[in-house]
Amino acid sequence: MNETIEESQDAANADFEALGIKPDLIAALERLRLDAPTEIQRQMIPAVLDGKDCLARAHSGAGKTNTYLLPILQTVTPGEGLQAMVILPTRSIALQFQRNLQRFAPEKPLQTAVALGGRSSHDQPDPLSQSPEVLIATPRGAGSLTRRSDHDWSALRILVIDEADAILDERGSDQLEQVHDALKHEYQTILLTGSLDEPVRALADKMLRDPVEIDMPPGKPRSTSASQSYFAVEPDEKFDALVSFCKQESPKLALVLTNTDEQARMLTQRLERVRVTCRWIDERSDPKRREQRGRRQPRDRSEVIVVNDPAPRRLSTIPASHLLHYEMPDAIDTYMHRLEQASRLRKQGEIIAFVEPSQETMLAEIEQRIGKTMKKREPLKRPPRRQRDQKSEPGRSQPTRETTPSQPEADVRGRLNKILRPNEELEARGVKPPARTLGSRFRTNRRGKPLRRPGVK
């Protein structure tokens, strides 16, 4: 058994060595227990090491990060200034890439800096003040740095734009153009995307010179490996089932998918009325407002994000814990497209569909398409509102809360008891006490005239 493991490791090392990776990085890959190179790594790493511009289309989970991370580690020399800049669509992905780079620090220590952009960046120190060799930035962070004229970019040799389609979807084309205009010298550009539509092609034509194009066919979405189940619900019970799931399961970050923007808008309003923390992502939402709203959101609270078809490309940048198909799509291809866009679903994440009786045929076709049977779950019942006169269940005692009345409240109760308590001596003599009431001070105004306090004219 041990001989088999050693042979497989030797084969993996030989594969990376054949791609041009040096022995020190191969030792790091062995330490991190990384397997043999993926298909996109086999095709792209040699071209990147040769200094050629690259345009690659690949889905998340194909191993595309290491296609430029390993060449950066191999070609960047410590102490020679800023030599590589990596632009990523979101703050979380940028910080994650920095952590991945630091995993190779024992073999290749490099000074890194992160530029996230936003209003808070004005109060932070300059990311380039520590003379990093690798700059990791969001589009806004890179744009704000390149607008400044006091930085020297002449040592930059590698520019990486990962998930370019998501960046363009976030209206980041202006920032990318600022970066392109600021770099006047010759450098290598690596552009990775999930789709090769017209905006991505236009960006590639402007920023790349005779690129090596690599087009990886879309495989099975990575999110299909997550746990998948469904609720069998009636149409009028669907909303209550969703609210019950959100309040009882408390998902960290749930993506709720609908078919149209009108359904998404109405669902967001209904969830807000029942005090479920939610927001709606659509093509018209402003990225700056969405970023500010995300910063104000506490991390320890559960949140629901409502999305409508067609699923936006920036869905692939959200590390969701749950994917909820509140409205089943009309076509199976649309369902698979949702799974492809939710590529950053967490490893322990769940995919749950709300299936109506008329959609059972589509459910069977989806199970055949993904190659697994979806587990049926019983819908959670929405808890009723609390009532003051709610009686305890038989055989179960309800806890009572003992309260100590305050001093003013105790004085008022004492005077009322003194007034209402009968005088035994007068009753023994046959004398009836006069009727005591709260008086005219609390009498309602029946004639529409303003009430006056006693003693006030």
Q: Which of residues 188, 215, 242 is at a domain's end?
A: 215
Q: Which two tokens stand for residue 408?
A: 């003013």
**Same domain, yes or no, for 289 and 150?**
no
Q: Are residues 205 and 236 in the same domain?
A: no
pLDDT at residue 158, as a whole number = 95
In a domain, 389, yes or no: no
* 113/237 same-domain check: no
Domain that holds residue 160: 43-215
The dihedrals phi and psi of 377, each to the nearest 5 degrees, come to -120, 150
In a domain, 413, yes or no: no
List the pLDDT tens digit at each of the 457 positions of the chain: 344 334 444 444 558 889 999 999 999 999 888 878 988 999 999 999 999 999 999 876 678 889 999 999 999 999 888 999 999 988 888 888 999 999 998 888 999 999 987 655 555 677 888 889 999 999 988 988 888 767 888 899 999 999 888 888 777 888 898 898 888 889 999 999 888 888 899 999 999 999 999 988 765 655 556 788 999 999 888 999 999 998 888 888 888 988 888 888 899 899 988 888 888 876 444 445 444 444 444 444 567 888 877 666 666 667 788 889 999 988 888 888 788 777 667 767 888 999 999 999 999 988 888 888 899 988 776 655 544 344 444 444 445 444 555 566 666 666 666 666 666 666 666 666 666 555 545 555 555 555 555 555 5
Q: Give a yes or no: residue 314 inside a domain.
A: yes
- What is the 3-class SS of the chain, one letter each residue? CHHHHHHHHHHHHHHHHHCCCCHHHHHHHHHCCCCCCCHHHHHHHHHHHCCCCEEEECCCCCCCHHHHHHHHHHHCCCCCCCCEEEECCCHHHHHHHHHHHHCCCCCCCCCEEEECCCHHHHHCCCHHHHCCCEEEECHHHHHHHHCCCCCCCCCCCEEEECCHHHHHHCCCHHHHHHHHHHCCCCCEEEEEECCCCHHHHHHHHHHCCCCEEEECCCCCCHHHHCEEEEEECCHHHHHHHHHHHHHHHCCCEEEEEECCHHHHHHHHHHHHHCCCCEEEECCCCCHHHHHHHHHHCCCCCCEEEEEECCCCHHHHHCCCCEEEECCCCCCHHHHHHHHHHCCCCCCCCEEEEEECHHHHHHHHHHHHHHCCCCEEECCCCCCCCCCCCCCCCCCCCCCCCCCCCCHHHHHHHHHHHHHHCCCHHHHHCCCCCCCCCCCHHHCCCCCCCCCCCCCCC
- For residues 159 and 258, membership in a common domain is answered with no
Looking at the fold, whether 47 and 33 belong to one and the same domain comes out as no
Residues 134 and 266 placed together within one structural domain of the fold: no
Q: Are both 74 and 163 inside the same structural domain?
A: yes
Query: Residue 203 has what pLDDT?
Result: 92
Task: Please check whether residue 415 lies inside any domain of the structure.
Answer: no
> For residue 281, is it within any domain?
yes
What's phi and psi for 54, nearest 5 deg?
-135, 140
Query: Do 186 and 245 fall into the same domain?
Result: no
In a domain, 387, yes or no: no
The CATH number that applies at residue 289 is: 3.40.50.300
Residue 61 and residue 109 in one domain: yes
Q: Residue 7's pLDDT is what?
A: 42
The token pair at 302 is: 């559960």
Domain boundary among 167, 185, 215: 215
Residues 226 and 111 in one domain: no
Same structural domain, 280 and 366: yes
In a domain, 138, yes or no: yes
User: Does 396 reside within a domain?
Assistant: no
Residue 284, pLDDT score = 45
Which residue, of 377, 398, 423, is where some domain finishes? 377
Domain count, the chain: 3
Q: Are residues 29 and 63 in the same domain?
A: no
